[in-house]
Structure 1
Amino acid sequence: MARAGVTYHDIAKAAEAVKTQGQEPTVDRVREHLGTGSKSTIAPLLKRWRSDNGEAAAVSGLPNDLVEVIKSLHERVQQMADHRIEQARREFEALNEELRNELTQANNAIAQLTARQQDLENQAERLSKEKSEQSQSLEDVRVSLANAESQRDEALTRANDLKESVSELKQENRDIRDHFEHYQQRTAEDRQQEREQFHLVSRGLKDQIQDLQLRLSQADSKASELVDANEWLQRHTHELEQANAIQKGTLDRQVADIQKLEHQLNDASAKSREQQHKSEQLVDNIAALTSQKADVDKQVAVLSQAFETTKADLIASQNRVEVLSDEYKLILQEKAVIQGQFKQLQESLSR
């Protein structure tokens, strides 16, 4: 529709001005002169102006009817050209809109992949923190094992001391028996003196027995502490195994997500190859996504290596716990032997 204000008077004035310039008043020239108005509005008004002005003058000696036919043909050709131009413009706008929609979809896909990559990076960072915490826990376990080994060494040293004390007591007991047999051959006075000496020695032996009992109770306490430490290590090892299983499950899920991202990336790459002649920018974005995928693959490789290292450390801790259990069993056996020897010594003294 024509802009409000374009009237027949405006069309007539514009046609006169075009004609004054030595040009044939056409729809395009009148519209260009006015600077406004649509062709569908200008064409009937211009035709009315021509009818009112009775344009019948000959052009280069041609009949008026031929001139009108030529003008009509010219206007028809002009209208067809305008129609084709408008149609080409609409097709161009439709194609441009389609390309914009495809570009928007590609940008959305890229944004989704970028967000997914950010999530993977956050998960990788969280796994790294968990690995650090587990490494610290393993270090605490190593320290606890070292303390347990130190306590075990102390218990072994004390057990050896107890063995030596028991051996000394046995030797003293044998010496006392030899002296006792020797003194039995003497007179009654010597026997009385020997009895007094024997009582003194017995009191000393009782003191030594009490000392041995105290040391034995201390060895029992240390053995109980070792049992508690062993139980704590077993519980901590179980917790580490559970944490390791959780970390493995998380890593498997991340690998599945990465494979899904690879499929999505392949689809996006195929679509990008189809639209390569439409947008060079999509090719650059896909190349950037490929580089980011390689970085994610590297991070996954690093996480896998860290998982294997954690698993090896866990196996080493389990081996240390088994060794500590074997050492604890040896201590219990040595304790039983000492108790048996102590019982024999008491029985020999009570005779």
Structure 2
Amino acid sequence: MARAGVTYIDIAKAAEAIKSHGQEPTVDRIRERLGTGSKSTIAPLLKRWRSHNTEATDISGLPNDLVEVVKSLHERVQQVANHKIEQARKEYQAANENLQAELTEARNTITQLTARQQDLEQQNKGLIDEKTELYKALEDTRINLVKAESQRDEALTRVAELKAAVSDLKQENRDIRNHFEHYQQRTAEDRQHEREQFRAANQQLQSQVHSLSNQLAQSESHLSELLKANTQLQTMIDGLNESNHALQLELNQKNETMKSLNHNLEATLAEHQTSSRQNDELREKIAALTSRLSAADKENYLLAQALEKAEAELGSTKDKVAFLAEENKVILQEKAVIQGQFKQLQSSL
């Protein structure tokens, strides 16, 4: 169906004008002259005009067979050219749409991978910061553990010293009691012979006993304080042992956490490397698609050149046909002249 603005009358006028300039009306020439209309619209109208002007073509003097052959050749060439042009245009359009879709998909994939890579880098940075904090906490825990072990060693040394002091005091107490019993026995044996000396010695011994009793009370008080201090130190040692055990458990937990974080970090790095490889593959695919698009453009350009060449050859063929028609007309005229001269010769004879 003709598009609005392009009618058979317009086609006919344009064809007559082109023919008046000594050229063969073609779809491209009519379209160029009108400045509008598509080939699919102009071609059937031009064919209709040619069918109406068949008699004028026969009057030119060309044989009907030659005219029919030329028409058939022109129509066949025109149909083949139009078919090739339409097929090339559809193939180019389909290839271009496929390439555009693949390019869009590749760009979307690159965008997603880039976002994923940024997320992985952010997670990797967070894991590194968390690992640094855990290393710092682990170092603080180790320092506290060393301090606790040092305090424990000092407490154990102090307890050993206190135990040694208690043992010395007990031995001194035993020696004093043994010495006191020895004096009592000696005093009982010498009481009858040396009563006066016994009284003096008894007073002296009583004084010594009183002094020794005070020393014994002080020693027992000191021993009680030492035992109490020993109990406190033992309690402190137990608390330090519990703290050491808790710190050891916490250290083990931190080590397990560190192992887990290292494993996650390795997995994240592996995933990051995989994403990088996929990104490189997509870049290579985009490069290949771009190359294919460039090849398709080049092929389209070659097809356009081939089409122009075919149209040029068609125009040349039409010009040759027109030249042959003119030459045939001249030959027919010469033939008519020769026949007239021949008739004149016959009549004169």
Matched residues, number: 279
1:68 CA displacement: 5.8
Contact 2:138–2:251 (Cα < 8 Å) also in 1: no
Task: Look up the match of 2:230.
Answer: 216
Q: Pick closer, same or farther for the CA change 1:272–1:15 going to 2, 3 Å.
A: closer
**Are residues 1:246 and 2:240 paired?**
no
Task: Look up the match of 1:144.
Answer: 144
After TM superposition, the structure 1 stretch with the greater mean CA deviation from structure 2, 195-204 or 97-106, is 97-106
For 2:23, what is the secondary structure of its paired residue? coil
TM-score (norm 1): 0.65
Task: Look up the match of 1:88.
Answer: 88
CA distance in 2, matches of 1:105, 1:44: 42
Task: Look up the match of 2:242.
Answer: 228
After TM superposition, the structure 1 stretch with the greater mean CA deviation from structure 2, 100-109 or 84-93, is 100-109
1:271 CA displacement: 6.6
Structure 1 residue corresponding to 2:217, chosen from 192, 203, 216: 203
CA distance in 2, matches of 1:36, 1:53: 26
Structure 2 letter corresponding to 1:55: A
Contact 2:31–2:37 (Cα < 8 Å) also in 1: yes
CA distance in 2, matches of 1:270, 1:18: 54
Cα deviation code 1:240-299 (max 9, x no counterpart)? 24424533553575477468769967986997898685269xxxxxxxxxxxxxxxxxxx
1:117 CA displacement: 3.3
1:32 CA displacement: 1.5
| Superposed counterparts of 1:157-168, under 5 Å | 157-168=157-168
1:218 CA displacement: 2.4
1:85 CA displacement: 1.6
CA distance in 2, matches of 1:218, 1:42: 115
For 1:2, what is the secondary structure of its paired residue? coil
Q: Pick closer, same or farther for the CA change 1:279–1:113 going to 2, 3 Å.
A: farther
Instruction: Name the % identity.
Output: 51
CA distance in 2, matches of 1:114, 1:99: 22
**Are residues 1:73 and 2:87 paired?**
no
Contact 2:166–2:223 (Cα < 8 Å) also in 1: no
- Which structure has the higher relative contact order (CA within 8 Å, separation 6+)? 2
CA distance in 1, matches of 2:293, 2:117: 24
For 1:37, what is the secondary structure of its paired residue? coil
CA distance in 1, matches of 2:63, 2:182: 174
- Provide structure 2 residue ranges, at least 5 long, that are not aligned to the other structure: 188-197, 295-349
Contact 1:180–1:194 (Cα < 8 Å) also in 2: no
After TM superposition, the structure 1 stretch with the greater mean CA deviation from structure 2, 222-231 or 115-124, is 115-124
- Provide structure 1 residue ranges, at least 5 long, that are not aligned to the other structure: 281-351
After TM superposition, the structure 1 stretch with the greater mean CA deviation from structure 2, 158-167 or 107-116, is 107-116
For 1:226, what is the secondary structure of its paired residue? helix
Contact 1:155–1:219 (Cα < 8 Å) also in 2: yes
